[in-house]
Amino acid sequence: MEMYDVVLSGYYGFKNSGDDAILMAIINSLKMYKPDIKINVLSMNPKETRKVYGVDSVNRFNIFAVYKVIKNTKLFINGGGSLLQDITSTRSLLYYLTTIRLALKLKKKVMLYANGIGPINIKSNEKRVRDIANQVDLITLREEASLKELQRLKVDKPPILVTADPALTLKPVSDVRVDEILKDEGIRFHNPIVGISVRSWEQQSKYSEVIARVADYIYDIYHAEVLFIPMHFPHDLKVIKDIASKMKHKPHILQKKYSVPEILGVIKNTDLLIGMRLHALIYAATLSVPVIGLAYEAKVEGFLNYIGQVSAGDIANIDFETLCKIIDDIWPNRDSIRKQLETVIGQLKEKALENARLAVQLLDEN
């Protein structure tokens, strides 16, 4: 069995652009600091992961394969993303805690890499996370809100640093490739562009109605074109089409699955991004595109607070007038917001790379 420097565990191989971005960024950053690094990824789709990222991969649910690769690695990385939370399910949380526990039992170095922690709402899960997280070698977090959650859980034994989301280090494709994508999709822009990223969630019928009205407002008041961008393909298309069916003006919709750099390239051409999906907001902020967050989970508010940008509040209580007022405030100030984002994100990119430097430092200590 081949020996690996790193085994990476996360929500990989599920065709979610945000998690694909995290994986791509972690691999790129680790290779920057250690070009010959040997990586194995626990993935839902090992064949695709091997092909796209040029690393070894095993099925995350193949217990024997997972045991083998962890036994034959020097460092186990849990990250990034919101893996240690129970809002998705306790079963999901238990999967990640079990793989961490296995690595600890096999006496491997363990790092939580740019994690988003919580929310953890069930008492028994709080104890599980506290017991396991206090045994790892290093924890880095993607924002301050996660640090507060760890403090609440009384996780205080390993070194803990607030860094930044790995995806902040990624770069978009060329404008030529973006033009090819838009031409292939039959999309031509003649006016400013507002990107919108949505997902299915509780009270969807209510927020779909509001977002449809807001999209029409953007068209009527600012003569801007609306582009819906699915981040989790094809899951997001259903809610996008539901919103589009409620609009007076026909929006543009990306109908195909694209790579992370391709989606970054498309978002780079927008003038404003309104997003539920966290990584749609991260992509936009990385490219200095003004953002408005629609918070379906605490992680969205946490990121926006971290970069000093605006949230329209909880998606369950989204209000047409409130969202329109936020757009009215931001639209004439887009240039100054872009400059502000350039400064903030420049600093956060350095912090995002710090995750990889620390991981390689753990390897060197081995």
Q: If the chain, 366 residues long, is cut into consecutive pieces of 10 residues, what is the mean pLDDT of each piece? A: 93 94 97 98 97 97 98 96 93 97 98 96 97 98 96 98 96 97 95 97 94 98 98 96 98 97 98 98 98 95 95 94 98 97 95 98 88
Order of strands across the sheet that contains 193-197: 252-253, 225-228, 193-197, 272-275, 291-295, 310-314
From residue 304, how far is each of 2, 298, 308 by CA, in Å? Answer: 42, 10, 6
Measured CA to CA, the distance from residue 33 to residue 264 in angstroms comes to 24
What's the pLDDT at 80?
A: 86
- What is residue 366's predicted lDDT score, i.e. its pLDDT? 67
**pLDDT reported for residue 2:** 84
- pLDDT digits 0-9 by tens, 89-145: 999 999 999 999 999 999 999 999 999 999 999 999 999 999 999 999 999 999 999
* SS3 label, residue 104: helix
HSE value, Cβ hemisphere, 13 Å, CA-based, for 347:
7
At residue 256, the pLDDT reads 96
Q: What is the CATH number of domain 4-162?
A: 3.40.50.2000
Condensed to tens digits (0 to 9), the pLDDT of residues 234-268 reads 999 999 999 999 999 999 999 999 999 999 999 99
Fold of 175-347: Rossmann fold (3.40.50)
Q: In the chain, which residues fall in CATH 3.40.50.2000?
A: 4-162, 175-347
What residues form DSSP beta bridges with 310?
292
